Each structure stands twice: as structure tokens, then as C-alpha cells.
Structure 1
Amino acid sequence: MKIKEIMTTDLIFLDPKMTIKQVAQIFMENHIDGAPVINNEKKLIGVLTKSHIFKLVSEALSFDTLVEDLMIKEVTFSSPEEEIEYLLKYSNVGRLPVVENDEVVGWCTRTDLVKAFFESHNEMVHELQTIMDSTHNLIVAIDEFGTIKTFNKSAQNVLGISAEDIKGKNIKDVFPNSELLKVVATGEAQTLQKIELNNRWFISNRSPVNKDGKIIGAVAVLQDISEVELISQELKSVRELNRELDAIIDSSFDGLYITDGNGQILRLNKAIERISGLNSEDFSRKEDDGLVEDEVVSKSVTDEVLKQKKLVTIIQQTKAGKTALATGSPIFGEDGEIVRVVANVRDITELNELKQKLEQAEEINKHYQNQLKAYKGPKHGYDDIIYSSHKMKEVLNLVSALGEVDSTILITGESGVGKEIIAEALYKTSNRSNGPFIKVNCGAIPDNLLESELFGYESGAFTGAKRGGKIGLFELANNGMIFLDEIGELSLRLQVKLLRVLQNKEIVRVGGNTSIPINMRIITATNRNLEKMVEESTFREDLYYRLNVIPIHIPPLRERKEDIPILVTHFVEEFNNKYNKNKYFSPEALDSLQNYSWPGNVRELENYIERLLVITPGNRITLRDLPSSIGNRVELPFSNVSIDGLPPLKEAVETVEKCLIEQAYKKFRTTRKMAQALQVNASTISRKATKYKINLGSD
């Protein structure tokens, strides 16, 4: 800064012939304490200040003393172009005249200098604050005691805190996790620290502030890298998508390659090697029309797309001796020019072979279905029952005969044999078919809940009971039929109540005392041995005889294997329609299914057929598609014993022995009768049972 920028130019000049009295009057009227003295030529000859007047008074001199007698004649002056630092050389001079071309043009005092420095300081502070507020980075500074001194606008905007509210406070009170105090304490800078503030990521650089070798504070500069992080994530996503695209292209059975607008090959998949007979490295170094020149293909689909500027499909003959269907799709840029061509090459030689195989398979399937339909026996009006065996025919003949009576029926059989279907057939053929048909699975409902479901309840009968009560399933079955499945799971308490229903033809709701007459037919079913349960006192004998008025036993599937082919045909048709498939079993696979024992019976067979139709890749289900537990199973002709695969002979013999003893015990219950049936000694039975850990109980 130059002196001319701070000097006073509105000057009052003194004449050397003026008296001190006159000068005092001038000083008082103009509120000044000094002035330059000039001659007639306006040249500086001296300086007079109020200090001279004070001296005159203290020495008791006359106020008529002339200026020239009291003024300072050897005057130090400055040029207006001098820097203000020039004034510092004359710190003992209170006022400095400014002279240019021998003429006084200004007057500079210490007050002017202080004012200049103050304004300069304020301007520098303002510029510094403006710079910090203009920067995109967050800036926070503290002194050596942790007091916040600087908090720029970026920090205010990001952190949502006003500088006025935070300056002067200790940083621990505002940012408890700040590391700035640690920087002050250690004097060590912390650089490139990644931190998160208000869901945004920053790189923080923290540095100590040194002055004359002493740490007087610390400053943190935080650079927002959220956008960089976002770009990094986007680039990562792009790379992932690119890898996925490469994987998708390479997994295609059809050949795929992409060229630019000049026919230069940019990307291709592995299927191109198989179809073209050319190594992919050689392929990628060529232009598409170069493939024609090298007789790799007979015609270029890309060349045709670039000429016609539209989707093109052609037939190609490849170097590998294959016939291919090639389709080229143009991709246009913003200027309407083709920037990419995507070519799809399909080996129609293989398609023709597959077509022939499919036609052959369909002919075999048609012939096979016609043969199976010949096995499909009459349904006797029961649409849900598929059978051809004599045993099932006897069961259904019995069902038809029972339609005219109202007797209680007990249906027995293993799980999955179709007890519920037989119960529905009894309902459809009965004189109650116009009434309701209620199904109840006694094993699927908790005992306390089952009672209220069957008998209903009155309002307030128990906590949570519906206001107004509820009608039970027995009442809903009035004038119709109720089917109680898994009757063997019924508790003894409910067995007593069911016995009363059978005897009295009436029920009493839970929480009530009024008998309600009912007219219904009861059909029950179980896969358990109720006779044994009666012996074990887990099922009431009187209830058993009430339920077992007319028994119907449904034989397991292993005892009526002639039903298996027709059931397979039925399920194949059903699931083909359901899943829009066209699958069928080979004769070998069907034979294997028929030879399997099917411990889960018809339900297991149905579920297994559905699984095979869903997971088998081809339309023809062969022996190889069956698991070893079915495909390698050997059935013994004299029992339901089966052996998986080909185990060692000793192991197979022991397996058969164990199964025979178990079956004999189930049938005869005594060692003596078992020995007679198996034509061995009773001691042999006991020894074998001990060997195979079979509990024969007490004879």
C-alpha cells in the first residue's frame, strides 16, 4: 500500500510570519494538531504542531512569537509513491508531509497509519473468510484449548450448524468424537482419514497449527467424496453387468457376435467356434466380410445389414460343414447411422436332427399311450378312482352295495391308499348324496379344539368363545354324512362322547345342557391297528365294535400292482395338462415303477410322478432318470421284502430273515406259531430275534 492511499489531502498551510496566537486559533477552528509551513513559493520550509504551542506556554513565551521562530525547520518528508512501510522508519515522527515536485500535496499522521493498518487487516480477514466460505471443502479450526475458531459455510451447510452458534464453544461439546484435540496434543498430522457425516463420506486431513515452534491449534479439512463413492459404485455395477453380459453371451447355445458400424468384430461367444469351425482368436481379428473371403461362411449377415440398414436373416454354410440360420440386428446411433450389428447364428443342422428325434418320440409316445389305455378299466361312475385290479373291483362293488344302507363303516388301509376317495364314493352312491358331506381329520386338530369343532359350543362356554356360540360339525352334517379320518388318534375322553353320539343319535354342545337330535351317517377311517389298540387299552372296545359294523379294507399298492400302469398314465396326463408338458415313461421305466413296493402307496406314486415330470429335462423319462432306490430295486416273489441294488449275499440273506421274522410276529404273535409257519424250530426263532434285536414280547 502506498502513502498516497492513506494521506490527508485537505490541507491547511501556515505562513512563517503568522503569530502563535493566530496558529492556535486555526488549530482550534479546524480541529487539527499540526500543519506544514510554506513560503511564498509554496515550498515546504517547516512544520508546526500543538506540541510547539505547549512548549511556548510552558516557557512563558509570548503568543506573538512568529511561526518561523518556533517551527521545526529540518523537516522529514515523503513522496506519495512511497510504500507505507516508509513511515515505520520514522516512528518518532508524528506527522509526515508528503511532497511531490517540491510542492506539499498531502499530510500523513500516525492516526492515518493505524487506520490504514486496521482497514488492511479487516480486508485481509474478510478475504480469508470469503476464501474459506467459497471453498467446497469443510474447514474446522480450533485453538490449543479446543475452542472452535473457524467454521466455514460448507461445514455449516453439510452439518446443519450455524457458525454463530458454534464459534467459541469447545469442540468436545459439539463433536465428541473429533480427533482435533489429539492432533493438538501429539502434534502429529492425521491424513486421508475416511469418515461419515450425515450419511455422506469425506476424506479428512487434520494438521497442527504451529507458531514460533509452539502448537497453537489444529485445523481439519474435509473433502466430500460421496459423489466419488457413488461413481465408484456405479463403475463396480457396470463391471458386474459387463461380466454378467459376457456370461450370458457365452452361455448361449446359439452363436453370437457383435460388430461395429464398419463390420469389425468386437465381441463373440464360444458357440461361434463350434458352429464356424474357426478359433475365436482368429475370428476376433477379422472383419465380418473377411469371413466370406476365407470361406468361413458362405455369406456375411453383417454386410447385408449394413447395406440394407434393417434386420436381415440368411442361411449360411459354415467351414465346419454346418447349415446355420444367421440373423443380424442393426443398432442405430443418434445420427441415424448403424453403430453396432448383433448377429445370432443358429445351427439348424442340429435343429433338424432334434426335430426328427422329436417326431420319432411322439410316435412312440402315441403308440405307448394307446397300449396303456387298453389297461384302463371301467370306473363304475367313480371319476376319482382309477383301477384295473380285481381287489379294487371287489372294494368298489362293496361300496356300490352299501349305498342303499345307512350302516356305520370303518375304512382301513395304509397311508396313501385312498381312504378319503372311497369315503367320497360311499357318499356319492348313497341316498344321502343330496345332503352335506363333512370331512374331519381327527389327527390334525388338537384334542381340546376338536371337541368344540365337532360338538359346537354355547356362548361363554370358555375364554374366547364367540358370542352367540357356534354350530358344531355334527350338526352341520345333519341329514348328510360325516367322515372322521384318523379315528385312531381320538383321545379316550372324546371316544366316550363319540360313543354316546352313535348310541343316542344326539349331541350336547360344549358348555350347554340341551340335547340336540341329529340324523347323519358316520364313516371312519384309520391306518392304525385298532384291534391292537383295544388290547393295549388305548381305544375303547365298545366304540370299536360300534364303528366296525361294516369294514372296508383297501389293499396297499404293492398287492395290486396291475393298478400301477393305469395310475401312472392317469397322473402323467393330469400333470402334463397342469404344467403344459408332453412327457412320457419308457417301457423299462414303467416296469421299474410297477416292481417298486411304494410304501406310501398311491399318494407317494402321485407325488413321485409329479416330481419326475417337473425335474426331468427331456420328454422321455427313462430308467436312468429314476433313483437307484426304485430303478435297482429287486422284489422277492414270496413277500413284500425288497432289496436295493446288489448287496453282498450274506447281507441280503440277513435282511430277508429279519423281515420274515417281523412279518411272522405281526401275524401270529407267538414263537410256536411263527416256527410252524416258517418251518423251523422255536429256538431258531428266538435266536434270530435276539440277533436282529426284534422284541417278540411274551408268549
Structure 2
Amino acid sequence: MGQVMSRLSICLYNYHTIGDAMTIMIEKEVAGLPFLNEQGYLLGMVTKNQIIEKGIENYVAGDKAADYLTNRFLPLNEDALLEDVWNLPFDIYPVLNNMEELIGIVSKYSLLQGYFLEVRSRSQELEAVFNSAHNGILSINKQGIITSLNPAAEKPTRTTKEEAVGRFLNDIIIPTGLLEVLRNGIPEYGAKFQVGRRLYISNRTPIMKDGEVVGAVGVFQDVSEIEKVLQELQSVKQLNEELQTIIASSYDGLIICNGQGDILRCNPAVGRILEAPWERLVGRPFKELVDKGIFKNNIIQLVKKQGGFISILERPFTKHSLVITANPVFSEEEEIVKIVINIRDMTELEFLREALEESKQLSEKYESQIALMRNHKEIGTELRYCSIIMNNVLDLAYRVSQVDSPVVLVGEQGVGKEEIARSIHFQSKRSKGPFYKINCGSVPEHLLEIELFGEGTFNGRNIGKPGGLELANQGSVYLENIGNMPLNLQGRLVRVLQDKMLQATGEKDRKSIDIRILSGTEKPLKKLVEKGLFRSDLFYTLNIVPIKVPALRERKEDLIPLVLFNLEQNNKRHGFEKVFSPEAVQLILDYPWLGNVREMANVVERLAVTANEKVISAEEVDEVLYEKEQSPLKTVTVTGVVPLKEAIIDLEQQLLSLAMKLHGTTVKAAEALGVNQSTVVRKLQKLKNNHGG
């Protein structure tokens, strides 16, 4: 813009008349002038067209120029490109620099003229490039008429530009597929065709305008010589790759030196055996390895002295006992041009023996786990893993299963605490005994007492209902959500565990029991003890071995194996062959899985059952995963105008009521609303007081 504008040395102000403006415009040969206020701020433009629009008969030279001011203008930056502004609607424009200072004006005519010159210059450049291109280029319009043909295309088409342009394609050359590209709009790349003995490769693409095919262009390249070279190169490349693969895959170390003893190539096994970065050895003399004490003998000198094959033993009493062989390669003049050195680590046999022994020990260690997976297929569904963190958890679970100590499993809902408790039981010496689960947070206190300790005689009647502790005798009891157990029942449980004697509710007699307690809790029991919600004596009795089970979002590497396993199970159950699309898998990986493995299993089953096609799409996964965003908690509807303070109070009450209804506790309601629990408690109390208790 700065190249085509007219720079201004004068502008119009409030004291100028329209006569002054006309005089200046005539002298400066411009169609308009900018009008500034006293602070130099651009208020508008005074143009000849504006004067004409007001009517010549109304023109009075003494009138103020401000009376002819128009704000129908658009300021342009001096760095603006002509191609971006040439078709703007006004006849004249003020031009500003990067400091927003007025530096000139430009007319519509100047823009058009400048843009025309630029387009013509570009056209000439493109024409020169087109004619100078090494590859042949031929284009046709929508009717199949040849519109352009460069000199490089005359040879493969066996015609000239003068003969071809303006004529139908099939009248000039043998059809090459360009008309097919014109008809279907689908590009075709790498098509080969032959003219005489010459081989050409062609790329054919449609010419698009406003989404419509208006022509097609073909680009030809003579690849006759290149094709021959490529075939030879491919053979050499294949042979070289085979040799590289052989060298790299060799378990023995291989070093190739030139006749002077400089290392030309070596394989990764050299680095493993010598415990040195093998890549850095290339280009260095073999003698350096001797000088650094890596080798005792310079086998290169021995080969040259002997004039033939050499085999020696290196470092026989060190960690790596090596057998090194060297074989010379001779030229036609009987000179040594290369030396191939082979290094074999003889201690590998000992390492293999030790590895076999270790493998045997590992096999024995996990034998019980394998038997568990075979005999109890229902166990371990949620324990599929490949992460280090979960491996550590299950390794600890296996170790504690070999003893009889109480275990507390700490983790969020749905992480698989019960599955781990089952695996501990079935890998222990109590595996033949019963495994009994009791949820301490799902039943009322009086029912939980009977569920735990049983019920004896009542008013002379022998009800005879045994509790879970009695039913699990000689086995294990899993107390889920033990943190929710009432304090008085905690006291009874402590006495049972300390005395190993059980007294049913309403029963005078006690009986001996032998059980192992496995507990599950969402929050560490120590925090509940500090808050007075859990007895310290029971805590110290149960919390012998705490195991923290990580949430699924903390072990994302386990997510895909779990998802695929659950999908496979649902496919078998329902006779499906469903699979996830790559995009769907990425959505699954990105999802936080706050409900952990349990939520994941439910989502996978739902997708397997409801997906329309064999491939479960990302859209279907997205709809299932994020449907919670449509919750009423995130929708506010206004039906009338009320005082803002009353509206805020009413909305707050609705949100609190809905959060408590959906989540049940003030802790979870506070998490959903994004506030502290104390805030929820205080506001609920205020709401209760406002409604009269």
C-alpha cells in the first residue's frame, strides 16, 4: 500500500472552507482529503464525490469543509497488500503507518492500477516458470480443450504448442487418463506410460474452482534412465540391507577394520560385550582399544605378522572371557585391505544357566497365581495390567497372601479392591476355606450387627442365624467400606479379633473362630482415627499391611488391556465382533475415569450393546462418556424477572438440594459444586432454618 499511495503534506481542519478543500485537491491532484480535529485525530474524509452528491447548485466556497465531511471511509495500513484491499467499496482511503499516524491517501483507481501491474508481473513470472519447467505440463478446460502446453511436454505428446492449444485432447494425443480425471474429479498420481522407448511418469489432478471441476492438468517426467538406475540401486540397497541386518543381528561382536587397522564398522553386540558405546568406535584405530586396556593383544598386528587367520583368548579371568578371531581380506594385489574381527563372550553360557535358574524360581513363585486363574476364572477380571505401579501392588498382595496378617486395601470406588482381596484369599493357605464379603456402608446399623456377628436366641426362640464372621471360619472375611462401620460395632469386632471368640447377638455362649480380616476403604483409616470416626485399637489391629490401590487414571497403560479384555468378554457373551476405531481409543485414553475399572467395564458393555456398526466410532464413545455434561446441575433457566438477590438465593437452594439428592453426602456434594464441605453444611443449615427447622 505504501508503494501506490499519495503522500500528504497537508490535511483539512475545522477552519478550512470547502473552497480551500477544492483548491488543495486540484493542486495535489487527489480525489479527497482527510479531515482531522485539533488533536490530529482522523474524523473523516472530504471527497470530490461528496461535493457532487450534495449538488453543484448548493456549492458555496465559503461553507465549512466540515459540512461535507463523510465517515464512509476505511483507513488502510501502509503494509497492507494490494491483493487484500483492491476490491474494497470506497473511492478513496486514508493510509496510516504502524504508529496509527496519517501519512497519505490512495484512490480506488490507484489500487486497481497497482493491483493490475502486480497481477501482470506475477503472470509473466508464472509464464516464464511454466515454459522453463523441466517436466512437461499440459492442461485442459472443462470441455477437454487443451489450454496450455509447455515446451517440455511437446516431446512426450509428439506435438507443438501451436498445434495443440485450442483443440480437443483426443484429437492431438493418445488418451492418457486426463479426461477421466476431468470427469470424476479424482487425482491420479504416479501413472506410468510409454512413448516409443521412453518411459514417463505422470501426475494428473483436477483444477477446482468454487468446489467445481473446471479443468485438469497433467505433469510428465521422463524417467527412462532413472528407472534403470533405480532398479540397479534397489538391488544394491537390498543386498546392503541384508548385510546390515546380518551384522546387526549377530550375537557375536563384529568389527571390520581397513588395512591400516582403523575401525570401519561394528555391531551393537560389540558395545554389549565390551560395555562401551559401540557407535563411537567407528573411525578410530583398533590400537586405541589396546591402549585403553580393553584388549591385551593387538590382533591387527598379529594378523599382519602371520599373514592369515588368528584366534586368541582375551581376559580369561575377568567378568567377560572372550575368544577373538580375525580374518584378513586380500585385494587382487595380495594386500590386506580389510580385517574382519569376531568377538565371542564365553561367559554367556553361565549367564544363560543363571537366567534359567531365575526363570525356574519365578515360575515356582507364580505357580499359585496361574492355578488361581485356571480354577477361579471369575477372579482377576479387573486385575489385568501392564503398569509398573500395579505390578508392585499385586506383587505385595502375593507376598502378604503367604502370611496370615490383616490387610487394608485403600483406594477409590471401582479400582478393584475386592478383586485383590479375593486374589489374596485364593493364593493363601486359606484358599480352600470360605471367602465372605460384608459391605459395612450399605446396610443399617442393626442389620450390619446381625450380618457380622449373627443372631442367637431371642425370647426363648432359637433363630439360629449365623453371621459372616462365623460363616467365614477357617477362611477370610472382606469388610468393604470398613470406615463406615459404627463405633460400637468396631468395639465388638476388636474383641472378636483379640480373643478369637465370637458371641452372637442375643447369645450368652461364645464360640472359637479362626478368620483372616481383609478390609477395604476409600480413605486411609488413620485420617478417620484422627477425626474420631474410627477406633484407634481397631486401626492398629487391622492396619498391619496397608495396600494403596491406584486409580485407573494413575495407570493409564493398563487402560487399553482392560478395555480390550472387557470388549472381548462382551463379544463372546453376545456373539458380537465389535472393535474400537483409533479415534475412539484416543477418547477412551483421554477420559479421566473417575469411576475407575467399574465405570470402564459398564461403558464398554454399553458401547458393545448399543453400537450400530462393527466399528465403534469416536462419536458413539463421546456420547456415552460425556452425557453427564447434560446434567441439570449445568443448566440454569430463567422464566421471569425477580430481584437479583432473591434469584441468587433461590438458585443456590436448588443447587444444594439437587447436589444432595444426586450424591447423598455433604462431602460428595461439595466436590460436585466445587466448594468446601463446611460451606455446604453451613448453607444447608441456613436453608433448614429458613424453612422453620
Q: TM-score band, normalised by the shorter chain?
A: 0.3 to 0.5
Q: What is the TM-score of this pair, normalised by structure 2?
A: 0.36
Bigger radius of gyration: 1
Q: What is the TM-score of this pair, normalised by structure 1?
A: 0.36
